[in-house]
Amino acid sequence: MPSFLSLPVELRISIYSLYLLDLQHVSGNLQPRNTHFRLLHVCRQISYEAGRLANFRSYVSLIHEDQISAFNSITTVEAASRILHADVANDSRLVHASGHVRQNLSVPASELYLVLSKLVSLRRLRVFECHRSRPMKDFIVGARFTLQFEKAMFPSGSPPQLDSYELYLSPFKSPSRIFQVVSPNRVKNLRLSGECGLLLGTKLPSLTNLAICGVTGHHLDQHMEEYFAQSLLEEVRYRQGDKLGARFELRDHQLKSLVFGSASGLHKLVLLDCTRLSSSILTTCFRHLEQLQYLALSFVSVHELDSNFVAAFPTSLAVVKLGITNAWFSSPLLQEEHKLCESFEESIIMRDPPLRSVHADLRDEVIVASSRGTRWTKIAKERKFALKLGPWEEDEIF
């Protein structure tokens, strides 16, 4: 059996790259670990191939204060300059030595700001909750603390020019205000989560990809349209997230403002756990999205399915994922759901040329009982496209 090092170098580099990509996947807001660095100590050849050719040294994940402090003390300026992507746990605390909270006498509680000041080539920053911070005994007795999300990372006010800025924060934690220090001008990819808010007046002219996952509080609900008015969005992903407490729920006027404004050229649209959207607005929006190629819609109907939004799906689609749930289980909208399924079969299942992939998570009464599932499976096999019946929402990456 051939050994790993006997494989062609091009294949080994592909394996390294896939491993590094899989390592950086985030599940449940859990910060990835630096297990990729172990490969750099296997042998000189693998260290060179993984470190130099597969860019293992371009990514680092700093999870707790001991790790941050060690990285700050041993990493050279040259090594730090090669890092393009960083995952960090942000303590958010500023320490004020005097009894009065004065900005010029404050310093971050964590050494993270020293690390970030060395990452001069940083282009993607993902920020996670800090679960292991410095204990109180490490600070001067009588010190005062304030929470300043971005100033704790960039107290000097000179952050790198980020292309991607992603928050993986838990709901109902301390509010996090962004773009107080970080410049929004070059940000192309933005992910919002937790109780976050953008600095009022923020404009994102370069933004193309927007993800909103489990946002709590009312800040985004009140200002969403103005933040993205200048953005030309190509990809929008929304997941409602936590079902408890005050959360941001995407509503008709917000989706319409995106579709008829900054997101009119959308290629990918993912809307999961939507409870505040009406079928009529969905119909209006889909008719306007003539360039849409990927659609994933998990729609929770409360009391209406009056408009047949499936019939309005654009012909440009290559991938469709549809899920319909009725919140009023005691009075299901079976007639309306049957009509949507008929349109789904006519405009999606039977589309010529066929789509690349179709997923459907619909009520058994309208799929199994009517033999639609069996018929759709047979059609998919004949027309050679991928078909999945049943839950698919967890497959979407946020």
Q: What is the mean pLDDT of residues 318-329?
A: 84
Neighbouring CB atoms inside 10 A of 372's CB total 20
CA angle 374/375/377 to nearest 5° reads 65
Structure tokens at 242: 């936590």
Q: What is the mean pLDDT of residues 45-59?
A: 91
Q: What is the pLDDT of residue 242?
A: 64
Please choose, from the candidates 94, 251, 234, 86, the residue with its C-alpha nearest in 3D space to the C-alpha of residue 168: 86
Task: Look up the pTM and report it.
Answer: 0.91
Q: What is the pLDDT of residue 25?
A: 92
| Alpha-carbon span 193 to 12, nearest angstrom | 36
Contact 264, 286 (CB under 8 A): no
Over residues 106-165, the pLDDT tens digits come to: 889 899 999 999 999 999 999 999 988 777 777 777 778 888 999 999 998 888 999 999
Q: What is the mean pLDDT of residues 237-260?
A: 84
As a whole number of Å, the CA-based R_g of the chain is 24
Q: What is the mean pLDDT of residues 321-336?
A: 77
Q: What is the pLDDT of residue 198?
A: 93
Coil, helix or strand at residue 292: coil
Over residues 333-373, the pLDDT tens digits come to: 778 888 899 999 999 999 999 999 999 998 887 887 678 99
Q: Which residues contact 336 (CB under 8 A, 6 or more apart)?
A: 301, 305, 306
Our CA dihedral for 83, 86, 112, 71, rounded to 10 degrees, sits at -50
| Alpha-carbon span 280 to 13, nearest angstrom | 50
Structure tokens at 265: 């050229």
Q: What is the pLDDT of residue 244?
A: 59
The model's confidence at residue 245, banded by pLDDT at 50, 70 and 90, is low
Over residues 260-307, the pLDDT tens digits come to: 988 889 999 999 988 889 999 999 999 999 999 999 999 888 777 888
Query: Please, which residues bridge with residue 247 across strands?
Result: 216
Q: State the chain's mean pLDDT as an integer.
A: 89
Q: Which residues contact 292 (CB under 8 A, 6 or more apart)?
A: 266, 267, 268, 269, 286, 314, 316, 317
Q: What is the pLDDT of residue 353?
A: 93
